[in-house]
């Protein structure tokens, strides 16, 4: 949830899959190379690999930024999907779309 430090760290990690995902994010997400743009990486990454949600759940809330809210909404959606709670899924999807239409489209594309 600290985009500037996270991007610097991710670029140094010897993880080929993470590097590949970072490059895809850079191509797919507008302004991904800026601190503000990279703040959306956690939400995008959760859509890409929902298995990462468990590790990100413990991240401290740093503010109510749209990017952070989106990541938390995606984590909520992943939980609701596993539980089959359709009405809540629809409402949470609407909230995600309200925050970032492009991220919502990416989420729906994967469903």
- DSSP for 38-70, please give it: HTTHHHHHHHH-GGGHHHHTTSPP----HHHHH
Spatial distance between the Cα atoms of 71 and 62, rounded to a whole number of angstroms? 12
| 102 φ/ψ angles, rounded to the nearest 5 degrees | -65, -40
Q: Which two tokens stand for residue 91?
A: 């409402």
pLDDT tens digit sequence for 45-79: 999 999 888 877 777 777 788 999 999 999 999 99
Q: Which two tokens stand for residue 14?
A: 């010897």
Q: Where are the domains of the chain?
A: 3-109
Spatial distance between the Cα atoms of 77 and 62, rounded to a whole number of angstroms? 20
pLDDT tens digit sequence for 6-48: 778 887 888 889 889 988 998 888 776 666 788 899 999 999 9
């Amino acid at each position: 949830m600290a985009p500037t430090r996270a991007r610097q760290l991710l670029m140094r990690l010897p993880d080929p899959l993470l590097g590949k995902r970072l490059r895809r994010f850079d191509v797919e997400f507008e302004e991904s190379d800026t601190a503000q743009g990279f703040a959306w990486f956690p939400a995008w990454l959760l859509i890409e690999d929902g298995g990462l949600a468990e590790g990100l759940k413990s991240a401290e809330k740093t503010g109510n930024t749209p990017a952070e809210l989106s990541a938390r909404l995606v984590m909520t959606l992943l939980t609701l999907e596993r539980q089959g709670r359709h009405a809540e899924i629809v409402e949470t999807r609407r909230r995600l779309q309200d925050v970032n239409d492009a991220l919502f489209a990416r989420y729906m594309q994967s469903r």
